[in-house]
Amino acid sequence: MSNDKVGAVLVVGGGISGMQSSLDLADAGFKVYLIDKLPSIGGVMSQLDKTFPTNDCAMCIMAPKLVGTGRHHNIEVISNTEIESIEGEAGNFNVNLVRRPRRINEEKCTGCGVCGAKCPVEAIDEYNWGLTRRGATFIRYPQSVPLKFMIDKEKCIGCGICQEECKAEAVEYDQEEQKFDLNVGSIVLSPGYSMFDPSLKTEYGYGRYKNVVSSMEFERFLSATGPFAGTVMRPSDGDIPEKVAFLQCVGSRDSQAGSEYCSSVCCMFAMKEAIIAQEHSEGLKSHIFFMDLRAFGKEFDDYYTRAQEEHKIKFTRCRVAEVREVPETNNLIIKYVEDGEVKEEEFNMVVLSTGFRPPENVKEFAETLGIDLNKYDFCSTGVFSPLETSREGVYVSGVFNGPKDIPDTVAQASGAAAKASSIISSERGKMITPKEYPPERDVLGEDPRIGVFICHCGINIGGVVNVPDVVEYAKTLPNVEHAEHNLYTCSEDTQKGIKEKIVEHNLNRVIVASCTPRTHEPLFRSTTKEGGLNPYLFEMANIRDQCSWVHMHDADNATKKAKDLVRMAVAKSRLLEPLYKLELNVFQSGLVIGGGLSGMTAALEMAKQGFEVHLVEREKELGGNLRNIYHVLSEKGEDPQKMLKEIIEKVKNDDKIKLHLETTVKSIEGFMGSFTTELSDDTKIEHGVVIVATGGQEYKPTEYLYREDSRVLTQMDLEGKLAKDEIKPNSVVMIQCVGSRIEERPYCSRICCADAIKNALKIKEKNPDAQIIVLYKDIRSYGFREDYYREAADKGVRFIRYDDENKPEVTKEGDDLVVSINDPILGEHIKIKPEYVVLSAATLPQPDNEELAKMLKIPLSKDKFFLEAHMKLRPVDFATEGVFLCGLAHSPKFIDESISQACGAVSRACTILSDEIMELEPTISEIIDENCDGCAYCIDPCPFNALTLIEYMRNGNVKKTVERNEAACKGCGVCMATCPKRGVMVKGFTLDQISAMIGAALEVV
């Protein structure tokens, strides 16, 4: 590895994966270049309507990450860009890139959108999968980051209208392709995926029948920003369908289509679409046709149950043979085989759940980067190295290394960030340049002197609102010293102007009346700061989104309303106070609880990042469940026991890792940045973060004669016996879902299907003639594991389905073990006398999770695993800041998934550990001690446990009051709204400030 390492990382692909990697890296002190070949970041998630299993709105939960990435001072978003070649090695790469011309100057474009609205061209809108049209001058979607338009050269007719219309003079038709290079220490690949083209499955009629659509298209139908504004309509006639069929595994698990793997997410995706469609159109009925229902993720089976019971969605287990159109009605007839019988059913619309494919041009991409692909052209990785490509210093995350859902992607993205930064951890903080600001003027005690800057936004505001009139009006308002209008208040030159005006008029408050604070407040705050004022002395009025754009045909009222909004902003502005970011000291070390694979991985990674870490394990030995794993399903044939030994060696030899064996945690006090923990041996340690990696355990069955007959084993027992050559079975019956997917434990244990297949193949390897029967409910060998399912079937392993009404029975006849089951295909009751019965037992949460949960003030899920902050986008964070989660403690998962999560938890933790001092937003609550009488009404409602009741001596009396923990408070203001005595205020949104706005709104003008 080169000695001159570079503290910068190149992230390729700006979907949710690339954004998460970038944010983690940037927050941990590394410079990030985020490139995307599209004109804006956001990836596929920006096109989703809702997300399972919470049915959260995709855009709502993604937008903060989108905006955060766009405005992060350590992240440079470079759109329209691809890699041409790479030189160098891990730690120091030189990457040559090429940037397609946008034909609109990014510096000048304000994103106002006049060009797009005026463009006479109608081109296919890829964002809506071709279901709508856009101009040749366009933006991918309204919340695009960067919010810059682009001219589509292919479609542009060169009419010149956009150039004429653009008041910012941003149109540059003659922009050329640009080549440039970047020097980075490591690279994270998250180029995403493409979708299977369903027209290749001609039997389903996609492309021929209008009312057969793909699941991605249907997602846009459901979206409020989609082609039909969220109403589900048939493409053929705009009718609202009554019956919609969803066909699963289109282009997945299909050797004809060349993709034998399972796309992992389509079952959940289809259920979500089916539920949301029913929500959007009353009376709509969804029907899902599937082979195995693969709801293997955390709380996914609950979703499945709700889909059936609450939403009454119909499920039929089959493979659909054919879809045929009824020409008169454009309805569709689905032909399928169920229980050996050919059936037909008519629907108004059919949705094809199309599978994932590798990204387009993946072979060239891999060649350019010098990385290996697997046999399906996804990125090749190993079970114990899920984030590493074949090239050192190049890491991977997201669907590019295998189909996966958003939470798994986000955990991986964080994990890849940890990997990418650990090899350059010595360079932390070296490539980032803090912005310099002039000293802040002390305005305390001054009367407010307000400057109001009102934006025309080209013609976006000025075309409707009489801006000069609003300026004149603003001048009449109390404390307004200066008011002016600008063509674009956000343009470079106006920024300069604002700074000058602050000095010239000795202003101490700034107001901009223009667009939305959601996108522009950070910019103007920074301008205010550059003008020598505290950035929180800034306020905004949104006269574009709330006046000119929504009252386009009513100039008078739009102008009147703009005046009102300015008056309201002035009223609040008068009460603004300078606020200062809070600084928190950070103990730059970590505590990892649990010494299994996840915990050891977390400890090692944290040490690689340069931080000291305490690893606490209650057993005598490290290794956890990995101690019982002897082989894995993998092309590379990794040996788990060898890996385990190596990892333990590394942990023991790392002098940054303090190992505490046969030790438990007695108590944990404190909060993010500064925890104090007491261990069972009375050691006290101080640390800034906690990673919970306490693992899980295999269920010891009470059913099927386990414990009564030594020939009844669990998969883990069997694996051990096979590895040690203790047995060589001739006949085995495996029973799946023992203790899982039952009433008291409704969740799926995720790993048992593949484990059964793995052990079946192992038996076959030793004894090809062995008779193996697997009794299952659904085979959930998702992703590339599907290959092994097929292999097992090819090698003669028999898979027989059972359902809850016909569970298998295990009895004894004389000395024989007897398994009886109904064979649904043969339709008869069969009896088998195997040598061994092997139970795929559930993975259980640790029984003492509750204790630790109380200690750390973190919640458990209803299945008693730990519950993360957000199922979708914060899979390894807890709502309690500074505490993270990984491995089986989160939910059952495979080795590679545990490793990804462990690395992900470290990455998140490093965003806190990276600096001795952490800055926090000042807009949090503040106790007004003289008003607070200690009634404590606010304490319980606080969702972040940030408030405590305390007592202190004041003038010889005991005074009760509330103390706010600044590290925990997020400024939601529930306390403020609960307090009957005005004893607590959220800074920046105090009762007086809100009330002043209300008062101003009600003033008679």
Partner 1 sequence: MEEGAAEGVTQEEEFEPLILAICCNWCSYTGADLAGTSRLQYPHNIRIIRVMCSGMVHPNLVIDALSKGADGVLMCGCHPGDCHYLEGNLKAEKRADALFLMLEDLGIEPERYRLEWVSASEGQRFAELMKDFTDTIKSLGPSPYKMY
- Report the C-alpha gap between 173 and 376 in whole angstroms: 41
Residues found in the chain: 1005
Interface with partner 1 (CB under 8 A), residue from 503, 550, 661, 830: 550
CA angle 96, 101, 106 (to 5 degrees): 105
- Report the C-alpha gap between 894 and 61 in whole angstroms: 27
CB 566 within 8 A of CB 474: yes
Instruction: Provide the angle, in degrees to the nearest 10, between the axes of the packed helices 16-27 and 58-71.
Output: 40
Nearest distance, CB of residue 865 and partner 1, angstroms: 19
- The tokens for 142 are 């309204």
Does a cis peptide bond (omega within 30 degrees of 0) precede residue 146?
yes
- Report the C-alpha gap between 157 and 720 in whole angstroms: 70
Nearest distance, CB of residue 279 and partner 1, angstroms: 12
| Strands ordered across the beta sheet of 809-813 | 809-813, 816-823, 828-832
Interface with partner 1 (CB under 8 A), residue from 76, 440, 545, 835: 545
- Report the C-alpha gap between 725 and 838 in whole angstroms: 16
- Report the C-alpha gap between 247 and 215 in whole angstroms: 9
- For 344, phi then psi, to 5°, come to -135, 145
Residue 921 in contact with partner 1, rule: CB under 8 A: no
CB 288 within 8 A of CB 244: no
Nearest distance, CB of residue 547 and partner 1, angstroms: 8
Span of 239-247, 356-364, 366-374, 938-946 interacting with partner 1 by CB under 8 A: 938-946
Residue 544 in contact with partner 1, rule: CB under 8 A: yes
Residue 994 in contact with partner 1, rule: CB under 8 A: yes
Residue 558 in contact with partner 1, rule: CB under 8 A: yes
Interface with partner 1 (CB under 8 A), residue from 155, 518, 762, 807: 518
Residue 577 in contact with partner 1, rule: CB under 8 A: no
Residue 568 in contact with partner 1, rule: CB under 8 A: yes
Span of 72-80, 419-427, 906-914, 977-985 interacting with partner 1 by CB under 8 A: 977-985
What are the residues whose beta carbons fall under 8 Å from the beta carbon of 997, sequence distance 6 or more? 568, 569, 571, 572
Q: Is the CB of 166 or the CB of 616 nearer to partner 1?
A: 166
Nearest alpha-carbon partner for 405 in 698, 750, 836, 773: 750
Residue 308 in contact with partner 1, rule: CB under 8 A: no
Interface with partner 1 (CB under 8 A), residue from 444, 825, 958, 1002: 1002
Nearest alpha-carbon partner for 782 in 926, 892, 641, 908: 892
Span of 8-16, 615-623, 755-763, 991-999 interacting with partner 1 by CB under 8 A: 991-999
Interface with partner 1 (CB under 8 A), residue from 31, 560, 614, 801: 560
Residue 552 in contact with partner 1, rule: CB under 8 A: yes
Going through 848-941 in order, the beta strands assigned E by DSSP cover: 883-885, 917-920, 925-927
Q: No. of H helices and E strands in the chain?
A: 22, 52
Residue 305 in contact with partner 1, rule: CB under 8 A: no
Residue 91 in contact with partner 1, rule: CB under 8 A: no
- Report the C-alpha gap between 96 and 187 in whole angstroms: 13
Residue 520 in contact with partner 1, rule: CB under 8 A: no
Residue 901 in contact with partner 1, rule: CB under 8 A: no
| # of chain residues touching partner 1 (CB under 8 A) | 63
CB 995 within 8 A of CB 575: no
Nearest distance, CB of residue 931 and partner 1, angstroms: 13
Span of 193-201, 264-272, 718-726, 970-978 interacting with partner 1 by CB under 8 A: 970-978
Residue 142 in contact with partner 1, rule: CB under 8 A: yes
CB 420 within 8 A of CB 2: no
Residue 516 in contact with partner 1, rule: CB under 8 A: yes
Residue 945 in contact with partner 1, rule: CB under 8 A: no
Name the pairing type of β-strands 771-776 and 731-738: parallel
Span of 52-60, 449-457, 641-649, 759-767 interacting with partner 1 by CB under 8 A: 52-60
- Report the C-alpha gap between 188 and 904 in whole angstroms: 14
Q: What is the DSSP letter of 880?
A: S
Residue 315 in contact with partner 1, rule: CB under 8 A: no
Interface with partner 1 (CB under 8 A), residue from 60, 157, 503, 830: 60
DSSP secondary structure string, 642-690?
Answer: HHHHHHHHHHHH-TTEEEETT--EEEEEEETTEEEEEETT--EEEESEE
Residue 64 in contact with partner 1, rule: CB under 8 A: yes
Span of 423-431, 550-558, 625-633, 767-775 interacting with partner 1 by CB under 8 A: 550-558
- The tokens for 209 are 């029948």
Interface with partner 1 (CB under 8 A), residue from 118, 155, 970, 981: 970
Residue 350 in contact with partner 1, rule: CB under 8 A: no
- Report the C-alpha gap between 594 and 598 in whole angstroms: 8
Which 866-895 positions form the footprint of partner 1 (CB under 8 A)?
A: 879
Nearest distance, CB of residue 550 and partner 1, angstroms: 6
Residue 546 in contact with partner 1, rule: CB under 8 A: yes
Residue 219 in contact with partner 1, rule: CB under 8 A: no
Residue 116 in contact with partner 1, rule: CB under 8 A: no
Residue 230 in contact with partner 1, rule: CB under 8 A: yes
- Distances in Å between the Cα of 451 and the Cα atoms of 246, 355, 472, 1005 are 58, 56, 13, 21
Residue 974 in contact with partner 1, rule: CB under 8 A: yes
Q: Where are the alpha helices (DSSP H) in 767-878?
A: 786-794, 849-856
Residue 972 in contact with partner 1, rule: CB under 8 A: yes
Span of 247-255, 335-343, 665-673, 989-997 interacting with partner 1 by CB under 8 A: 989-997
Name the pairing type of β-strands 665-671 and 674-679: antiparallel
Span of 17-25, 289-297, 640-648, 987-995 interacting with partner 1 by CB under 8 A: 987-995
Instruction: Provide the angle, in degrees to the nearest 10, between the axes of the packed helices 467-475 and 555-574.
Output: 30
Interface with partner 1 (CB under 8 A), residue from 374, 923, 945, 965: 923
Interface with partner 1 (CB under 8 A), residue from 94, 941, 950, 954: 941
CA angle 252, 747, 880 (to 5 degrees): 105
Residue 342 in contact with partner 1, rule: CB under 8 A: no
Nearest distance, CB of residue 549 and partner 1, angstroms: 4
Q: Where are the alpha helices (DSSP H) in 50-159?
A: 58-71, 114-118
Q: Which residues of 659-683 are buried (b: 16+ CB within 10 A; e: fewer)?
A: bbeebebeebebbbbbbebebeeee
Nearest distance, CB of residue 254 and partner 1, angstroms: 33
Q: Is the CB of 440 or the CB of 545 nearer to partner 1?
A: 545
Nearest distance, CB of residue 536 and partner 1, angstroms: 14
Span of 333-341, 387-395, 564-572, 704-712 interacting with partner 1 by CB under 8 A: 564-572
Interface with partner 1 (CB under 8 A), residue from 31, 229, 244, 655: 229
CB 60 within 8 A of CB 40: no
Q: What is the DSSP letter of 203?
A: G
- Report the C-alpha gap between 901 and 884 in whole angstroms: 10
Span of 468-476, 708-716, 949-957, 985-993 interacting with partner 1 by CB under 8 A: 985-993
**Scanning the structure block, which residue is given the tokens 């709204």?**
977
* Interface with partner 1 (CB under 8 A): 49, 54-61, 63-64, 113, 142, 223-225, 229-230, 516-518, 542, 544-546, 549-554, 557-558, 560-561, 564-565, 568, 879, 923, 941, 943-944, 970-974, 976-979, 986, 989, 991, 994-995, 997-999, 1001-1002, 1004
